Structure 1
């Protein structure tokens, strides 16, 4: 694999995708951003470390190290909005989550967007599609789990404080209802807030790979960051990101372990 794309192959009927944990800014692009810190700020911080236990369960994981500010691997490559009428960011974002400009001067034009797509977006999704095909040769049913996190309060994107667990199945279309129900039940039992198909119904990845009638069930989990790392009221270069602390994250990791075990039980049933 390339130096920016990480693929760990497991044999269990479970794929976990990490489209937004990357923080790398290619040298030829880094100077175009207002600041490297701002270009990295909205990463799904430490999610790949939070889910490190998944490999012990036999899961396959696919991760890009490239920052979402360079190209967002969970957006529709056509440029169509996944959430019409709501604030969101583009395939190659021009603003951060709060609406501040990311670029010091001119944002990427159509040719540059196409170059970034060919360089990073397309190979990432080719790897995912390849793992889906590989596992489907040995498993009649697999679960594709798209792993995310986000700051708990972003007024431009949603009102108030986000629930701890945000489960997305695109209004019940991307997986069997019993899988969504099993995941929601574990979230409810955790004592933390949760919602099914709220503000985050599942991004392009969840929708694109969904083929429940053919044995591919997809589900997105958007975590509020506060559950696994201390979250300041206002991120600054001095306090963000908070270092990953396995002890702080352990309670949430335990719930996520139960969730992934439920995904495996569903697939194997």
Structure 2
């Protein structure tokens, strides 16, 4: 069964652009996709609600106002459980597939070991997705037809911004389960700002993001337990004029995780994120000489 055909008539991802981009920011929501192909659901052992446990529910909607701030927003329609673009292109678990993976596949990363590779084996608390092994060709087709076009688009947006403004800031937008606790059991964070422990963004950018959210009354931690995934690490090159931050939002603020219904505070949170983005996008950063970004 050609699962990719189930996306015919539905864009694999959406790009919302302002009439004129007036800030050097690009926002990205890679895990908010909620189009589940029929063929994929037929292969799954999980019901239609449980399989959504890895989804960043409605994060694209929460950040929709960034377009009015003058920044583009890229968001996936395909779900994370189907293909995770916040991974290397070939982080694949050979135990999942019939056939031999390419020699260049990364089969031994910690993410693969945990079942959370480019084609995930599990959702949430180690819930197995598939009834049986997949043809290896299916994994490679998902990478070629979804992963690569997504990253080509994201990369293009980042480089366009750097060319136009002298530097670029990528904000990777995610959500986390309400059960997440700050290190040391110090309470539930509302937000986690990740910059790969200072390597993916200028310190003043991270500091500003944290202070803005705290100033709105939210509990904010930095880098723990989430410092940023592949996208933050891969694109964040401050010495080349490209900064990357990951923003994690606690789902308990805005959605009932059992029913997937928006809570009464959804609109207020979206308004706060609009104010946050308007303030963050006004930060001034030095623009160093910008050599070409290494190819993927």
Q: TM-score range by the shorter chain?
A: 0.7 to 0.9
Q: Secondary structure at the match of 1:138?
A: helix
Q: Residues of 2 paired with 1:221 and 1:182: CA distance? A: 13
Q: How does 1:1-269 map to 2 (within 5 A)?
A: 3-10=11-18, 11=21, 12-34=23-45, 35-79=47-91, 87=114, 89-106=116-133, 108-153=134-179, 162-229=188-255, 231=256, 235=258, 240-242=259-261, 244=262, 248-267=265-284
Find the structure with the greater CA-based Rg.
Answer: 2
TM-score by length of 2: 0.78
Contact preservation (8 Å) 2:53, 2:124: no
For this pair of structures, how many residues does the alignment match? Answer: 257
Structure 2 portions without partners, runs of 5+: 1-8, 92-105, 287-296
Contact preservation (8 Å) 1:182, 1:262: no
* Per-residue CA distance 1:117-147 (angstroms, 9 max, x = gap): 1111111111101111222221112211000
Q: Residues of 2 paired with 1:91 and 1:159: CA distance? A: 31
State the superposition RMSD in angstroms.
2.6
Deviation at 1:71, TM superposition (A): 0.5
Q: Residues of 2 paired with 1:154 and 1:180: CA distance? A: 21
Deviation at 1:268, TM superposition (A): 6.6
Contact preservation (8 Å) 2:180, 2:189: no
User: After TM superposition, what 4+ stretches of structure 1 lie above 4 angstroms from structure 2?
Assistant: 80-88, 158-162
Deviation at 1:87, TM superposition (A): 4.9
TM-score by length of 1: 0.86
Structure 1 portions without partners, runs of 5+: none
